[in-house]
């Protein structure tokens, strides 16, 4: 009895081969997909890492640049300003003609990096430090002040929120009377004519008090309305008119004829005239006397305590002079 076989080429074997082939193809495709996915993921991961690294680098660069910029921008520093000293006589900058009884001009030097300046005042109606002005100017006119009064000033530099320390304090005084350039020169000329040409320290006090005398006569008449000359000098609007035209002094022509021209006036007379106008010691610390109203050359005035000066300065009057001038 024989055995029958079913493994012919048309039987099971071809089907099995086709199945195996399909499985192998599917396996190959699956493997390819896995490989491609891994490659894509790896590529994406690599790109992300590169982007992160680039971003980190850019951030570092930005931080470095900002730090460098901050380091290269210097901090603003401001020094305290310095006042310009007041001229002592014959200066339009510090003697604002016709207004000096009510105003003062304050000047200070420029400060590097400063955009503005803050000026403060104290004195008179300002019982405490008060900011009077914020300005870019280096010269400030302060108005509304009181006659014959001392004021203190201080200033600081400003740049945005940055402020310097305050300057040292500067003290300035308003005049006791208004005067213009001609008035100042007239005072100097008459003082020089009467006593300013005398040599030696002995004459310094007479120079001061004669200056006081001229100024105080006009002040008494025009501002205080008291004194022996008030009713008379009130008719003269300026001190030069009082000197040149009143008859109690000398005319401009007479002074010139005697050589009392302004170009001949020495410094000590100008200082004395300045001191009289501001009632402050300006010549060798000699104090001014605000009570001297007149001088004379008549004997009966010699007993008056207010005698300040005698025309022609007769030698016999020296005992009175020494007593009066100290």
Can you give the CATH number for the domain in which 132 is found?
Answer: 2.60.40.10
Residues 310 and 208 in one domain: yes
What is the mean predicted confidence (pLDDT) over 210-235?
A: 81
Which tokens go with 15? 């089907």
Q: Which of 131, 160, 175 corresponds to the end of one domain?
A: 175
**What would the pLDDT profile of 223-248 be if each residue is shown by its tens digit?**
887 766 677 787 898 999 999 998 87
Q: Is 276 inside a domain boundary?
A: yes
The residues that bridge with 131 in the sheet, in sequence order, are 120
Q: Is 58 inside a domain boundary?
A: no
What is the mean predicted confidence (pLDDT) over 292-300?
A: 49
Residue 291 has pLDDT above 60, yes or no: yes
Residues 186 and 313 in one domain: yes
Residues 130 and 229 in one domain: no
Residue 286 has pLDDT above 70, yes or no: yes
Q: Are 101 and 178 in contact (CB under 8 A)?
A: yes
- The pLDDT-based confidence of 290 (bands split at 50, 70, 90) is confident
Residues 204 and 315 in one domain: yes
Residue 35 has pLDDT above 50, yes or no: no
CA dihedral 171, 176, 179, 185 (to 10 degrees): -80
What is the mean predicted confidence (pLDDT) over 7-12?
A: 46
Residue 86 has pLDDT above 90, yes or no: no
Short-list 103, 110, 271, CA closest to 172:
103
Residues 158 and 204 in one domain: no
pLDDT of res. 217: 83
pLDDT of res. 231: 78
SS (H, E, C) the chain: CCCCCCCCCCCHHHHHHHHHHHHHHHHHHHHHHHHHHHHHHHHHHHHHHHHHHHHHHHHHHHHHHHHHHHHHCCCCCCCCCCECCCCCCCCCCCCCCCCCCCCEEEEECCCCCCCEEEEEEEECCEEEEEEEEEECCCEEEECCCCCCCEEEEEEEEEECCEECCCCCCEEEECCCCCCCHHHHHHHHHHHHHHHHCCCCHHHHHHHHHHHHHHHHHHHHHHHHCCCCCHHHHCCCCCHHHHHHHCCCCCCHHHHHHCCCCHHHCCHHHHHHHHHHHHCCCCCCCCCCCCCCCCCCCCHHHCCCCCCCCCCCCCHHHHHHHHHHHC
Residues 111 and 134 in one domain: yes
% of the chain exceeding 90 in pLDDT:
42
- The pLDDT-based confidence of 297 (bands split at 50, 70, 90) is very low
Residues 95 and 151 in one domain: yes
Q: Is 17 inside a domain boundary?
A: no
Lowest-pLDDT choice from 1-5, 68-72, 180-184: 1-5
Residues 158 and 121 in one domain: yes
pLDDT of res. 100: 82
Lowest-pLDDT choice from 14-23, 269-278, 293-302, 314-323: 314-323
Q: Is 293 inside a domain boundary?
A: yes
What is the mean predicted confidence (pLDDT) over 128-145?
A: 96
- The pLDDT-based confidence of 317 (bands split at 50, 70, 90) is very low
pLDDT of res. 160: 94
Q: Is 86 inside a domain boundary?
A: yes
Q: Which of 175, 200, 218 corresponds to the end of one domain?
A: 175
- The pLDDT-based confidence of 39 (bands split at 50, 70, 90) is low
Q: Are 288 and 276 in contact (CB under 8 A)?
A: yes
Residue 196 has pLDDT above 60, yes or no: yes
Residues 158 and 259 in one domain: no
Q: Is 59 inside a domain boundary?
A: no
pLDDT of res. 58: 57
Residue 308 has pLDDT above 80, yes or no: no
pLDDT of res. 195: 83
What's the number of domains the chain is made of? Answer: 2
What is the mean predicted confidence (pLDDT) over 63-78?
A: 64
- The dihedral through the CA atoms of 130, 136, 139, 145 has a sign that is negative
Q: What is the pTM of this model?
A: 0.67
Residues 113 and 185 in one domain: no
Which residues span the domain enclosing 262? Answer: 181-325
Residues 194 and 310 in one domain: yes
CA 207 from chain center: how many Å?
35
Q: Which of 175, 205, 222 corresponds to the end of one domain?
A: 175
Q: Are 223 and 208 in contact (CB under 8 A)?
A: no
Q: Which residue has the higher pLDDT, 67 or 208?
A: 208
Residues 155 and 202 in one domain: no
């Amino acid at each position: 009895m024989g055995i029958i076989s079913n493994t012919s080429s048309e039987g099971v074997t071809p089907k099995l081969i086709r199945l195996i082939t399909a499985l192998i193809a599917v396996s190959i495709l699956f493997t390819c997909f896995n490989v491609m996915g891994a490659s894509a993921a790896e590529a994406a991961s690599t790109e992300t890492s590169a982007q992160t690294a680039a971003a980190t680098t850019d951030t570092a660069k930005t931080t470095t640049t900002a730090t460098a910029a901050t380091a290269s921008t210097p901090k603003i520093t401001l020094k305290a300003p310095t006042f310009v000293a007041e001229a002592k006589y014959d200066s339009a900058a510090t003697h604002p003609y016709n207004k000096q009884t009510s105003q003062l001009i304050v000047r200070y030097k420029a400060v590097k990096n400063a955009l503005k300046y803050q000026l403060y005042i104290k004195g008179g109606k300002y019982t405490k430090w008060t900011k009077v002005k914020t300005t870019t100017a280096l010269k400030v006119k302060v108005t509304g002040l009181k006659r014959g009064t001392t004021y203190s000033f201080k200033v600081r530099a400003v740049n945005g929120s940055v402020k310097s320390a305050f300057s040292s304090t500067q003290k300035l005084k308003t005049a006791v009377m208004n005067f213009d350039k001609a008035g100042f020169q007239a005072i100097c000329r008459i003082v020089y004519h009467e006593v300013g040409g005398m040599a030696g320290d002995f004459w310094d006090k007479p120079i001061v008090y004669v200056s006081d005398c001229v100024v105080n006569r006009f002040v008494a008449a025009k501002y205080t309305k008291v004194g022996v000359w008030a009713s008379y000098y009130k008719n003269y609007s300026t001190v030069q008119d009082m000197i040149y035209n009143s008859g109690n002094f000398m005319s401009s022509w007479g002074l010139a004829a005697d050589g009392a021209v302004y170009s001949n006036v020495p410094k000590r007379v100008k200082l004395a005239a300045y001191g009289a106008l501001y009632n402050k010691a300006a010549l060798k610390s000699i104090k001014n006397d605000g009570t001297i109203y007149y001088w004379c050359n008549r004997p009966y005035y010699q007993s008056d305590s207010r005698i300040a000066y005698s025309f022609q300065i007769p030698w016999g009057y020296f005992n009175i002079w020494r007593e009066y001038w100290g």
